[in-house]
């Protein structure tokens, strides 16, 4: 992929992530657990993970989070998103490298969803200065398995089309 094509693809993925973020913010929270969301922007992270190298995916995540914060977030939103996003990405990247062809995009997505919640709970514990927030983690992890499956399934079917358009 030429440099201009790569830059354009990165910009499109950041924009798509922002659109999904804004769309998800407008949805009523369908979960019983406060703070749980579908994680639609992770579709873009997964697609990027299968299209680009580490530094490009990292750039996409950080740009999307910064822009989402600028377009209507708060400092606490930023802290939760950056911690969850980076920890999730690192876990998915490691799983993809270690698992090679043995772990599907759906499995990698589920791992990412779990680690996203772990990152957010760590930040929450630091912000509220109470380690007992960790007791909320099992509930979030159950939701993460379901949303991670949905996000991974969506990315699995979108990836071939996006690769064909951008490559």
pLDDT digits (tens, 9 = 90+) for 2-22: 888 889 989 999 999 999 988
Secondary-structure percent of the chain, ordered helix, strand, coil, rounded to 5: 80, 0, 20
Q: What is the mean pLDDT of residues 72-87?
A: 89
Rounded CA separation 67/138 (Å): 30
Residue 81, token pair as written in the block: 């998103």
Q: What is the mean pLDDT of residues 62-84?
A: 90
Is it the case that residue 75 has pLDDT exceeding 80? yes
What are the backbone dihedrals phi and psi of residue 154, each rounded to the nearest 5 degrees, phi first?
Answer: -60, -45
Question: CB–CB of 45/112 below 8 Å?
Answer: yes
What is the CATH topology of the domain spanning 3-166? Arp2/3 complex 21 kDa subunit ARPC3 (1.10.1760)
- Is this prediction's pTM over 0.75? yes
Is it the case that residue 34 has pLDDT exceeding 70? no
Whose tokens are 């992770």? That residue is 42
Using CB atoms within 10 A of its CB, is residue 69 exposed (0-12), middle (13-18) or buried (19+)? middle
Weakest-pLDDT range from 32-46, 76-90, 134-148: 32-46
Nearest CA to 39 out of 147, 164, 156 is that of: 147
Residue 74, token pair as written in the block: 């708060």
Please report the pLDDT score of residue 134 as a whole number.
79
Is it the case that residue 154 has pLDDT exceeding 80? yes
């Amino acid at each position: 992929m030429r440099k201009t094509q790569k830059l354009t693809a990165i910009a499109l993925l950041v924009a798509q992530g922002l659109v999904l973020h804004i769309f998800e913010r407008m949805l009523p929270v369908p979960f019983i657990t406060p703070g749980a969301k579908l994680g639609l922007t992770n579709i873009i992270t997964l697609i990027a993970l299968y299209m680009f190298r580490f530094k490009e995916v990292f750039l996409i995540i950080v740009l999307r989070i910064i822009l989402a914060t600028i377009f209507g977030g708060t400092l606490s939103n930023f802290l939760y998103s950056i911690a969850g996003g980076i920890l999730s990405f690192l876990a998915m990247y490691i799983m993809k490298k270690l698992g090679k062809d043995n772990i599907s995009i759906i499995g990698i997505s589920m791992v990412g969803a779990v680690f996203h919640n772990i990152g957010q709970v760590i930040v929450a514990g630091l912000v509220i200065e109470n380690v007992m927030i960790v007791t909320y983690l099992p509930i979030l992890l159950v939701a993460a398995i379901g949303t991670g499956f949905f996000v991974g399934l969506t990315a699995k079917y979108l990836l071939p089309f996006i690769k064909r358009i951008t490559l």
